[in-house]
């Protein structure tokens, strides 16, 4: 119990709050997606408000991946958190959840199943980010370069799907959840840069302690359980929409 309390006391409440806000945004976006794709509501998910809403949500999450990696590496009390094995285990766990989502979406979706989605990406990124955890401005430069490179490769197509994970897609490729290394790993690197810049030293960046305020505690709690919320929210949303009659399960299947 003491170890748990000590670990919580070292957490940055503002990081957990932003992560909690981001998971709420994920739920809102997926509710809109379900209403469009499964209930037949006319909602433009590929442009306009919902397109940018999804991009802001995903970018926030991925930036926080880098910040959190820097935090745990520099300020974690457990020496194991500084080892490659620790990051490998964390990454493989998330990647395994991503594989599960691949299987589920392939089973239930007619097209657009997830091949390299957000969990695949984060799991892979946690592993390959290890050599960059002590770098600062190099991460910023490489991160910006990958983002710019992504603007160039976005319109490129290749003959096979073997490099989908990297960011090179076959013609007419579509997936409901797709986060390739180019450009998204650039945001992880920028997050590591920010984490090292803001949090590498205890005295470098401090906010007033608002962690005990009820709204902050609630959002922090969500932020500490984002994986669990991410895994269960779609089954809950879809089941709820079926129960209240918004989704006609028979016609969908």
pLDDT in tens, 110-165: 788 999 999 999 999 999 999 999 998 999 999 999 999 998 888 788 887 889 99
**Is the separation of the CB atoms in 101 and 59 below 8 Å?**
no
* Residues near 16 by beta carbon (within 8 Å), at least 6 away in sequence: 219, 220, 221, 223, 224
**What pLDDT sits at residue 72?**
86
**What pLDDT sits at residue 5?**
39
Domain annotation covers residue 19: no
Domain annotation covers residue 195: yes
Task: For residue 130, give its domain range.
Answer: 78-206
Domain annotation covers residue 198: yes
Domain annotation covers residue 47: no
**Is the separation of the CB atoms in 166 and 103 below 8 Å?**
no
Residues in the chain: 253
User: Pairing mode, if any, of strands 157-158 and 169-170?
Assistant: parallel
Domain annotation covers residue 202: yes
Domain annotation covers residue 64: no
The structure's pTM equals 0.90
Domain annotation covers residue 237: no
> How many domains, the chain?
1
CA dist 175 and 162 (Å) reads 15
């Amino acid at each position: 119990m003491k170890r748990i309390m000590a670990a919580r006391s070292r957490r940055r409440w503002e990081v957990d709050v932003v992560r909690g806000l981001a998971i709420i945004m994920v739920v809102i976006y997926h509710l809109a997606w379900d209403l469009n794709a499964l209930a037949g509501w006319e909602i433009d998910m590929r442009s306009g408000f919902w397109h940018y809403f999804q991009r802001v949500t995903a970018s926030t999450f991925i930036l926080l991946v880098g910040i959190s990696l820097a935090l745990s590496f520099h300020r974690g009390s457990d020496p194991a958190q500084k080892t490659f094995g620790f990051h490998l285990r964390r990454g493989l766990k998330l990647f395994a959840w991503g594989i599960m989502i691949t299987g589920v979406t392939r089973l239930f979706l007619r097209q657009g199943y997830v091949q390299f989605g957000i969990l695949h990406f984060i799991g892979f990124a946690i592993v390959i980010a290890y050599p960059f955890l002590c770098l600062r401005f190099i991460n910023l430069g490489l991160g910006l370069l990958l983002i710019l490179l992504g603007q160039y490769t976005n319109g490129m197509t290749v003959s096979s799907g073997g490099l989908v994970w990297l960011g090179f897609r076959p013609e007419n490729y579509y997936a409901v959840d797709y986060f390739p290394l180019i450009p998204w790993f650039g945001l992880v690197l920028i997050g590591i840069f920010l984490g090292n810049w803001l949090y590498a030293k205890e005295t470098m960046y401090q906010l007033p302690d608002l962690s005990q305020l009820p709204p902050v505690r609630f959002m922090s709690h969500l932020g500490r359980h984002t994986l669990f919320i991410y895994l269960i929210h779609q089954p809950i949303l879809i089941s709820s929409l079926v129960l209240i009659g918004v989704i006609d399960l028979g016609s969908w299947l």
